[in-house]
Structure 1
Amino acid sequence: MIRELRKADINKVADIWLDTNRKTHRQYLFIKEKGLRFSIVV
């Protein structure tokens, strides 16, 4: 269900954000080395 963020949601949302950022940044070197071989749209 989609709804407005509530104060009680903050900890869970922050945990999801942090986990996602950690996973993304672990792939930094791979993307840096292989990125030019991909078709990337930004």
Structure 2
Amino acid sequence: MQPIVGTMNPERLQDIAKASEVKLTREEWYELYRVAGGNKLP
């Protein structure tokens, strides 16, 4: 996945980049994917 951040503000970009440090389990990732727009998984 690649985010589209919509900012050129260096401070905001640094804050957004910190999100890459978040570690999710496979279950957490699938749950976020599922609820983020009604995505259905098998």
TM-score w.r.t. structure 2 length? 0.38
Tell me: higher relative CO, structure 1 or 2? Use CA pairs within 8 A at least 6 residues apart. 2
What's the TM-score, normalizing by structure 1? 0.38
Q: Write 1 or 2 for the structure with the bigger share of helix.
A: 1
